[in-house]
Protein backbone atom coordinates (compact mmCIF):
# COMPACT_ATOMS: atom_id res chain seq x y z
CA UNK A 1 0.00 0.00 0.00
CA UNK A 2 1.50 3.38 0.91
CA UNK A 3 5.14 3.05 1.87
CA UNK A 4 5.05 5.92 4.36
CA UNK A 5 1.80 4.93 6.03
CA UNK A 6 3.39 3.32 9.08
CA UNK A 7 6.34 5.67 9.40
CA UNK A 8 6.93 8.81 11.38
CA UNK A 9 9.84 10.90 10.17
CA UNK A 10 11.26 14.18 11.30
CA UNK A 11 13.74 16.06 9.18
CA UNK A 12 14.98 19.59 8.67
CA UNK A 13 14.50 21.31 5.31
CA UNK A 14 14.90 24.86 4.12
CA UNK A 15 12.32 26.91 2.25
CA UNK A 16 12.73 30.08 0.18
CA UNK A 17 12.77 32.38 3.23
CA UNK A 18 15.55 30.30 4.83
CA UNK A 19 13.41 29.45 7.87
CA UNK A 20 14.00 26.00 9.30
CA UNK A 21 10.97 23.78 8.88
CA UNK A 22 10.67 20.43 10.58
CA UNK A 23 8.50 17.95 8.73
CA UNK A 24 6.29 15.40 10.49
CA UNK A 25 4.82 12.67 8.26
CA UNK A 26 1.54 11.35 9.63
CA UNK A 27 0.87 7.62 9.39
CA UNK A 28 -1.16 5.14 11.39
CA UNK A 29 0.21 5.78 14.89
CA UNK A 30 -1.99 7.36 17.56
CA UNK A 31 -2.57 11.11 17.36
CA UNK A 32 -0.75 11.81 20.62
CA UNK A 33 2.52 10.34 19.28
CA UNK A 34 2.60 13.00 16.58
CA UNK A 35 1.42 15.74 18.95
CA UNK A 36 4.27 14.96 21.35
CA UNK A 37 6.75 15.04 18.46
CA UNK A 38 5.57 18.50 17.45
CA UNK A 39 5.54 19.81 21.02
CA UNK A 40 9.08 18.50 21.53
CA UNK A 41 10.29 20.20 18.34
CA UNK A 42 8.70 23.50 19.33
CA UNK A 43 10.14 23.31 22.85
CA UNK A 44 13.57 22.74 21.28
CA UNK A 45 13.35 26.03 19.37
CA UNK A 46 11.77 25.12 16.03
CA UNK A 47 9.45 27.91 14.85
CA UNK A 48 7.79 26.13 11.90
CA UNK A 49 6.49 22.60 11.67
CA UNK A 50 5.03 21.05 8.54
CA UNK A 51 2.50 18.27 9.13
CA UNK A 52 2.16 16.11 6.00
CA UNK A 53 -0.21 13.24 5.29
CA UNK A 54 -1.86 11.48 2.42
CA UNK A 55 -4.86 9.25 1.90
CA UNK A 56 -6.68 8.06 4.99
CA UNK A 57 -4.15 9.74 7.30
CA UNK A 58 -5.37 13.22 6.32
CA UNK A 59 -8.00 13.29 9.06
CA UNK A 60 -5.35 12.31 11.61
CA UNK A 61 -3.11 15.18 10.41
CA UNK A 62 -5.93 17.66 10.95
CA UNK A 63 -6.56 16.20 14.42
CA UNK A 64 -2.84 16.52 15.27
CA UNK A 65 -2.72 20.17 14.21
CA UNK A 66 -5.88 21.01 16.14
CA UNK A 67 -4.75 19.25 19.33
CA UNK A 68 -1.42 21.10 19.22
CA UNK A 69 -3.19 24.44 18.65
CA UNK A 70 -5.96 24.09 21.21
CA UNK A 71 -4.59 21.86 23.97
CA UNK A 72 -0.81 22.22 24.14
CA UNK A 73 0.66 25.35 22.55
CA UNK A 74 -2.18 27.81 22.18
CA UNK A 75 -0.04 30.49 20.50
CA UNK A 76 0.49 28.18 17.52
CA UNK A 77 -1.01 29.49 14.28
CA UNK A 78 -1.86 27.67 11.05
CA UNK A 79 0.24 29.58 8.54
CA UNK A 80 -0.76 27.68 5.42
CA UNK A 81 -2.62 24.59 4.23
CA UNK A 82 -1.72 22.95 0.93
CA UNK A 83 -3.74 20.19 -0.69
CA UNK A 84 -2.81 18.18 -3.76
CA UNK A 85 -3.21 14.85 -5.52
CA UNK A 86 -0.38 12.40 -6.13
CA UNK A 87 -0.43 9.57 -8.61
CA UNK A 88 0.64 6.33 -6.93
CA UNK A 89 1.44 3.17 -8.86
CA UNK A 90 0.25 -0.13 -7.44
CA UNK A 91 2.07 -3.45 -7.54
CA UNK A 92 0.07 -4.54 -10.58
CA UNK A 93 1.20 -1.45 -12.50
CA UNK A 94 -2.07 0.46 -12.38
CA UNK A 95 -2.17 4.04 -11.15
CA UNK A 96 -4.42 5.55 -8.53
CA UNK A 97 -4.79 9.10 -7.26
CA UNK A 98 -4.11 9.80 -3.59
CA UNK A 99 -4.98 13.08 -1.88
CA UNK A 100 -2.29 14.84 0.17
CA UNK A 101 -2.30 17.65 2.71
CA UNK A 102 0.40 19.82 4.26
CA UNK A 103 -0.42 21.94 7.30
CA UNK A 104 2.24 24.48 8.28
CA UNK A 105 2.17 25.46 11.96
CA UNK A 106 4.13 28.47 13.25
CA UNK A 107 4.66 30.10 16.59
Domains in the chain: boundaries: 10-106
Residues 6+ apart with CB under 8 A from 33: 8
Q: Taking the model in full, what pTM does it have?
A: 0.80
Using pLDDT thresholds of 50, 70 and 90, give the confidence band for residue 97.
Answer: very high
With beta carbons less than 8 A apart as the criterion, state whether 10 and 48 touch: no
**End-to-end alpha-carbon separation of the chain, Å?**
35
Write out pLDDT tens, residues 2-22.
444 344 444 444 344 446 899
Q: Strand (E) positions, 1-107?
A: 10-14, 20-25, 48-54, 77-89, 95-106
**Res 19: pLDDT:** 66
CATH code for residues 10-106: 3.30.110.20
The CB density around residue 64, as the number of other CB atoms within 10 Å, is 25
Amino acid sequence: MESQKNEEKSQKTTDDTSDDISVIYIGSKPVMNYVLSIVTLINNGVNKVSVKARGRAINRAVDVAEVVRHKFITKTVVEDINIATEEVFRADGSASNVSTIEIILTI
